[in-house]
């Protein structure tokens, strides 16, 4: 087949556009990874490990969910890769929360917890004028990963998150919550329950599974819980990898239930 001069011009045009799109995607990815590093500066001992685990867990839960919904391998891979990175930014808004709250070595009182809730709004605001699928997904997750399937989460149905006077509103419910955020909500709690905090010990794995199953249809999307349970062996292997000890989560003692803060 012989290409004409017109064909070459058209090919050059599309090649240049494709190259520019790839470069924009690369730059977006690099900026987001730097944002994650920035968030780690606030809590270098735990934040980095936590976000890496949540990103890995969320990707595998999504993979399990997507197989059941008949998505193509190509779509699964593309979304899984985006979700892995976007999930790592779920708590990026905490960089604007006072250390007196963020690093308090005890549970938060009601006033402190109300201030902590704003990390969802502050995180989503970082992605104003989003220009890529990754930006859009990261914003959805940052804003909605503390919403609950039963509508009792936060920050709720806020008409304009960029309004300086925005306040916590009645929660979103069910599929009003974007799927990536529903997945990260579970991944985040799963990691929090199995991890040491300054104010608590981690839970044994068996107890974590019981609590998550109990919250199916309440805190968590039932389909996401099912995907989580089916991917559990993979998640357990990842947990052992990130904690450096595959028996870590089986040996630890009980703690408070179902909170990611």
- Of the listed 37, 77, 80, 94, which one is catalytic? 94
DSSP annotation string for the chain: ----HHHHHHHHHHHHHHHHHHHHHHHHHHHHHHHHHHHHTT-TTTHHHHHHHHHHHHHHHHHHHHHHTT--HHHHHHHHHHHHHHHTTTTGGGGGS-HHHHT-SSPPPHHHHHHHHTHHHHHHHTTTT--SHHHHHHHHHHHHTT--TTS--SS---S-TTSTT----SPP-GGGS-HHHHHHHHHHHHHHHTS-BTTBPPPPHHHHHHHHHHTBTTTB-HHHHHHHHHTHHHHHHHHHHHHT-TTHHHHPPP---S---
Q: Which residue, among 177, 178, 172, has the nearest Cα to 137 in the 3D structure?
A: 178
Catalytic site includes residue 6: no
d(CA 73, CA 78): 9
Residues known to be catalytic:
94
């Amino acid at each position: 087949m012989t290409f004409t001069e017109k064909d070459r011009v058209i090919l050059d045009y599309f090649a240049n556009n494709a190259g520019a799109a790839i470069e924009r995607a690369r730059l977006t990815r690099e900026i987001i990874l730097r944002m994650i590093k920035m968030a780690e500066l606030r809590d270098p001992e735990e934040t980095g490990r936590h976000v890496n685990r949540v990103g890995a867990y969320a990707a595998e839960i999504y993979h399990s969910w997507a197989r059941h919904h008949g998505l193509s391998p190509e779509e699964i891979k593309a979304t899984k890769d985006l979700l892995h990175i976007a999930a790592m930014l779920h708590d990026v808004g905490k960089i604007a929360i006072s250390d007196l709250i963020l690093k308090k070595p005890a549970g938060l009182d009601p006033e402190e917890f109300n201030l902590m809730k704003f990390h969802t709004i502050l995180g989503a605001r970082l992605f104003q004028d989003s220009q890529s699928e990754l930006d859009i997904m990261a914003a959805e997750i940052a804003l909605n990963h503390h919403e609950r399937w039963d509508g009792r989460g936060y920050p709720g149905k806020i008409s304009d998150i960029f309004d300086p006077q925005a306040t916590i509103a009645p929660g979103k419910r069910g599929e009003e919550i974007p799927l990536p955020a529903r997945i990260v909500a579970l991944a985040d709690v799963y990691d929090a329950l199995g991890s040491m905090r300054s104010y608590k010990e981690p839970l044994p794995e068996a107890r974590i599974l019981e609590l998550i199953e109990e919250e199916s249809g309440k805190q968590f999307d039932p389909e996401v819980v099912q995907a989580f349970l089916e991917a559990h062996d993979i998640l357990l292997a990842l947990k052992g990898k990130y904690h450096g000890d595959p028996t870590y989560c089986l040996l630890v003692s009980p703690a408070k239930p179902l909170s990611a803060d």
